[in-house]
Amino acid sequence: MENFKDKVVWITGASSGIGEALAIAFAREGAKLVLTARRKEELERVKLSTGLPDTSVLVLPMDVTDLEKAVPAAEQVIAQFGRIDIMVHNAGVSQRSYIKDTDLAVYKNLMEIDFFSTVALTKAVLPYMIKQKGGHFIVMSSVAGKIGTIMRSGYNAAKHALHGFYDSLRAEGYVDNIKVTTVCPGYIRTNISLNALNESGSKFGKMDSNQANGIPAEECARRILSAVKKDKKEIYIGGFKEVAAIYLKRFFPTLLFDQVRKNIPE
């Protein structure tokens, strides 16, 4: 099983939700952290929450959609710690709007945040992992990366794309000991629906009841660390209904499609 003691773990979307919970969980296991998100003040708060000394945490504010900053950011991490052992792609945004109403610009924005930003950072980090002959990517997909649902078409598409890209990376990186764990959360108790994009690209601003009653982010983080220790390739974290839906699609797709079209969001 993998030991996180003194491993350098870079987490995007680290200022709240699952990212914050992962930062605290990795810190408890003795990891060194790189914390990235847009809001520096929130990253500083998370840094304090980890209880780690300043020498073990690099606060690295960045808008991940500024793709040209990926390589300089990786260089800054290497200058600070000399290596990158685990890259956690957690930054992302969801969607709440019907296809017929959604501006094309919203779809482009969703792909920039949820897909292309992870590709840019992966390509920036990968050469260092190859040089050190090892590394682990933790990719936050979603149950939406397996199942297309109403009012989440762009989000679904971006998460589906992550699976294709990182399945390829897992295969290509095998010879250099590059590992990939793709995480598919269902309903986790975070602000993801509040921050989701509507048809014009503004914040949806409403808390989904399923989200409010979801699994705590801390429990999600605990399961992710357990899976990474065991080098799990793909994991599903959620309630019975979300996880069962993934298996329904695999074995009884027509039944799932009928259920999805009847499941009108609140």
Contact (Cβ atoms closer than 8 angstroms) between residue 217 and residue 240: no
Give domain 8-262's CATH architecture: 3-Layer(aba) Sandwich (3.40)
Helices (H), the chain: 17-28, 40-50, 70-81, 104-111, 117-131, 153-172, 209-212, 217-229, 240-251, 253-262
**pLDDT in the model for residue 250:** 87
Give how far the C-alpha of residue 27 lies from the chain's centroid of Cα atoms, to the nearest Å. 18
Q: Which of 8, 9, 11 is nearest to 20 (CA)?
A: 11
Task: Quote the pLDDT of residue 210.
Answer: 77
Distance between CA 51 and CA 148 in Å, rounded? 40
pLDDT, tens digit, for every residue of 85-100? 999 999 999 999 999 9
Give the separation between CA 97 and CA 196, rounded to whole angstroms.
9
Q: Which residues contact 98 (CB under 8 A, 6 or more apart)?
A: 150, 151, 199
Phi, psi of 101 (to 5 degrees): -105, -10
DSSP 8-class letter at 148? -
As a whole number of angstroms, the distance between CA 71 and CA 122 comes to: 10
pLDDT value of residue 239: 86
pLDDT along the chain (266 residues), means of 10: 89 97 97 97 97 97 97 98 98 96 97 98 98 97 93 97 98 98 94 91 85 89 97 94 86 83 67
What is the pLDDT, as a whole number, of residue 169? 98
Q: Write the DSSP string, 68-117.
A: GGHHHHHHHHHHHHS---EEEE-----B---GGG--HHHHHHHHIIIIIH
For the chain, give every domain's residue range: 8-262
Phi, psi of 32 (to 5 degrees): -100, 140
- The pLDDT score that the predictor gives to residue 265 is 61
pTM above 0.75, yes or no: yes
Q: pLDDT of 105-141, one tens digit each? A: 999 999 999 999 999 999 999 999 999 999 999 999 9
Confirm whether 155 is a catalytic residue: yes
pLDDT at 259: 81
Evaluate whether 220 touches 211 at the Cβ level (below 8 Å).
Answer: no
Report the candidate in 157, 159, 156, 181 with the shortest Cα–Cα distance to residue 169: 181
Indicate which residue of 107, 155, 166, 236 is catalytic. 155
**pLDDT reported for residue 241:** 83
> Residue 264's pLDDT is what?
62
